[in-house]
Structure 1
Amino acid sequence: MTTNQQKESRHITWEQLKERIQAGIPFVHRIPSPDGKGPALDIWVSEHGAELALRLPCANSDKPALSKLEEIEVRQISTLSGPMLEVQTRARTLYQEIYGFFVSVADKVQLNDKKALEAVEETLEGWRELIKIETVLSDEAQLGLRGELYFLRSLAKVVGNQALTAWVGPDRQPHDFRIGTLEFEVKTTRSTSHTHIINGISQLEASPNHSLFVFSMRLSPSGANAGTTLPDDIENTRAILGQKERSRFDEILRTHFNYRAEHSGYYPLRLHLADTPLLIPVDSACPRLTTDLLFSVPHRSRIHNVCYFANFDGLGYSENSEEFMNVMASTLPSRNIISNEPKQ
Structure 2
Amino acid sequence: MTALPQLSPATLDAYLSASATTLQTVCSSPECLLAVDPSRQNLELWTPDDGTFPDLGRFARVGVTQTERDGGTWNVLTVPAKDLRYEAYGLLVAIIEAMRGGASFAAGTNAALTNLRALLMSRPRLSEAQQVGLVGELLAVRSLLGSSGPHDVLHWWLGPLAEQHDLALPGYDAEVKTTLSERRRHTISGTGQLTPTPGRPLWLVSVQLTRGMDGASLPGLVHDVRRLVHRDHRFEDHLERLGWHDEDADLYETAYVQRTAPTAYLVDTRFPAVTADRLHAVVPRDDLVDLLTYRVDVTDLDADEPGGPLTSFFFEGTPS
Query: Does TM, scored on the shorter chain, surpass 0.5?
Result: yes
Q: Tell me if 1:289 matches 2:274.
A: yes
- 1:66-113 Cα deviation digits (max 9, x unpaired): xxxxxxxxxxxxxxxxxxxxxxxxxxxxxxxxxxxxxxxxxxxxxxxx
Question: Runs of at least 4 residues of structure 1 off by over 6 A?
Answer: 129-132
Q: Tell me if 1:304 matches 2:290.
A: yes
Q: CA deviation at 1:277?
A: 0.9
Q: Counterpart amino acid of 1:266?
A: L
Distance 1:314 1:155 in 2: 27
Q: Tell me if 1:159 matches 2:148.
A: yes
2:220 counterpart residue number: 232
CA RMSD of aligned residues (A): 2.6
2:98 counterpart residue number: none
Residues 133-148 of structure 1 mapped to structure 2, 5 A cutoff: 133-148=122-137
- Give TM-score scaled by structure 1 length: 0.52
2:201 counterpart residue number: 211
- 1:158-200 Cα deviation digits (max 9, x unpaired): 3221111111111121111112441111101111110111111
* 1:311–1:295 Cα change, 3 Å: same
1:328 counterpart residue number: 308
Q: Equivalent of 2:169, from 176, 179, 185?
A: 179
Q: Equivalent of 1:191, from 181, 189, 193?
A: 181
Q: CA deviation at 1:264?
A: 1.4
Answer yes or no: is the 8 Å Cα contact 1:278–1:315 preserved in 2: no
Q: What percentage of residue pairs aligned between the two structures are identical?
A: 28
The structure carrying a bigger strand percent of its residues is 2
Q: CA deviation at 1:202?
A: 1.1
- 1:144-163 Cα deviation digits (max 9, x unpaired): 11011011122223322111
Q: Counterpart amino acid of 1:249?
A: F
Answer yes or no: is the 8 Å Cα contact 1:220–1:273 preserved in 2: yes
The structure carrying a bigger helix percent of its residues is 1
1:248 counterpart residue number: 234
Distance 2:225 2:127 in 1: 21
Residues 115-154 of structure 1 mapped to structure 2, 5 A cutoff: 133-154=122-143
- Give TM-score scaled by structure 2 length: 0.55
Distance 2:178 2:285 in 1: 33
Q: Counterpart amino acid of 2:249?
A: S
1:274 counterpart residue number: 259
* 1:329–1:144 Cα change, 3 Å: closer
Answer yes or no: is the 8 Å Cα contact 2:144–2:309 preserved in 1: no
Answer yes or no: is the 8 Å Cα contact 1:135–1:259 preserved in 2: no
Q: CA deviation at 1:329?
A: 4.3
Answer yes or no: is the 8 Å Cα contact 2:160–2:241 preserved in 1: yes
Q: Equivalent of 1:170, from 160, 167, 177?
A: 160
- 1:246-293 Cα deviation digits (max 9, x unpaired): 33212321x212212222111111110111111111112322122222
